Amino acid sequence: MAKKPFNIEEICEKFSINGNFTGYEIINNGHINSTYNLIFEDNGKPVKYVLQKINTVVFKKPDELMSNIVAVTKHIAKKYKEAKADDAERRTLTFLPCVDGKYYYIDSENNCWRLYIFVDKVYTCNTIDSEEVFNNAGVAFGEFQNILADFDGSSLFETIEKFHNTASRFDALKKAIKEDKAGRLESVKNEVEFALARENDTHILVDMIAEGKLPLRVTHNDTKLNNILFDNITNQGICIIDLDTVMPGLSLYDFGDSIRFGANTATEDEKDLSKVSLSLSLYEAYVKGYLSKAKDALTTLEKELLPFGAKIMTYECGIRFLTDYLDGDTYFKVAYPEHNLDRCRTQFELVADMERKMEQMQEITKKYC
């Protein structure tokens, strides 16, 4: 029998799990952590947990990481319980403490483990195949923002420093251009020109934070479709997962990244740029869902800036791909030498299309405000 990738006896002891262990499943959806479904039998009934090995190369401070996650999930659970919501126990992840009170433990091989209760009768989506799906995603992330509106985002730790500081990302690009480590600068003159021409945009949101014009909120910072658990029966998004990047930020970051990912008519590494555009129908589907839950929690300025949030998050992602291409592909995984360049080009093409359609995006947004 193959050796298990974890010590189940130690897991049961550290997290005080009752019942008989009957098996496990490997979950391969994540790109950073290793995840397993653990199956137990307790009093004749199956009980499931999710075990994760935290990637401490990426997340070097598990105390701060888990402090953020537990504070946010407990806040969400309390709100749903007070509202007597249907399936309140399924509306957020429930992490289990170890016997020492911490929400993780480190084993003898320096692996860092955490455990939460499995959410049953749900599914995830990796692609958007209808406006309804994207609308439901908007509802889910809008509800996430709304229910955390009274949570002090500044009380959270920054698990990845300056993650969505676009001005800082732009400085990193200028450094990569100057150093040209991989000798690729001559081949990306057009992309560099596109990026440099939009330098003023990089400071807008950062300056508004500094001036107190935009509130720091709890932000997810990875608002992809597959980070929502959808109910098997209702098809509604009931639980937001993958909370490692929950930290202080702007609502515009989460909204913008959702649009960048979900309203693009092409894949992230599409080589035929004629296929890349912003789908206004998908944009409207998401805005309608998102603002149906979040509009009362957002300030007037936040709502006005939602279309710009979509553009700046797409631009930021593009300059990150370009920076990594110039540096020799040291951050993002690539499948071929020009992979990061293709990714950069799709993002910049999407930015350009958003600029052409900005007035329409603004009108759609106003419609649901």
Q: What is the pLDDT of residues 189-238, one digit of tens each?
A: 999 999 999 999 999 999 999 999 999 999 999 998 999 999 999 999 99
Spatial contact of 68 and 158, defined as CB atoms under 8 Å apart: no
Residues 6 or more apart whose CB falls under 8 angstroms from that of 89 comprise 77
251-262 and 280-294 helices cross at what angle (nearest 10)?
150
Q: What angle do CA 50, 52, 58 make, to 5 degrees?
A: 150
Residue 351 and residue 260: Cα distance in Å, rounded?
9
Distance CA 48, CA 24 (A): 9
pTM for this one?
A: 0.92
Residue 328 CB neighbour total at 10 angstroms? 14
Q: Which residues have C-beta within 8 Å of that of residue 189, sequence separation ≥ 6?
A: none
Cα 48 off chain centre by: 25
Q: How far apart are the first and last CA of the chain?
A: 59
Side chain identity, residue 49: Y
Query: Collapsing DSSP states into helix, strand and coil, what is residue 331?
Result: coil
326 vs 341: CA distance, rounded Å: 9
- CATH 3.30.200.20 domain position(s) in the chain: 8-120
Whole-number pLDDT of residue 52: 95
Q: How far is CA 161 from the centre of its chain?
A: 15
Q: Say what the pLDDT of residue 170 is.
A: 98
What pLDDT, on the 0 to 100 scale, is given for residue 1? 47
Give pLDDT < 50 ranges for the chain. 1
- Domain 131-367 top-level CATH class: alpha beta
What pLDDT was estimated at residue 205? 97
| CB-neighbour burial class of residue 185 (10 A; exposed 0-12, middle 13-18, buried 19+) | middle
Contact 353, 278 (CB under 8 A): yes
Q: Where does the chain hold its CATH 3.90.1200.10 domain(s)?
A: 131-367
CATH architecture of 8-120: 2-Layer Sandwich (3.30)
Q: What does the alpha-carbon distance between residue 169 and residue 322 come to, in Å, rounded to a whole number?
A: 11
- Sheet with 105-106, strands from edge to edge, namely 20-27, 34-42, 45-54, 112-117, 105-106
**DSSP E strand boundaries for the chain:** 20-27, 34-42, 45-54, 105-106, 112-117, 122-123, 217-219, 228-231, 237-240, 247-249
Write down the pLDDT at residue 162. Answer: 86
Give how far Cα 190 sits from Cα of 187, 193, 319, 349, Å. Answer: 8, 5, 13, 12
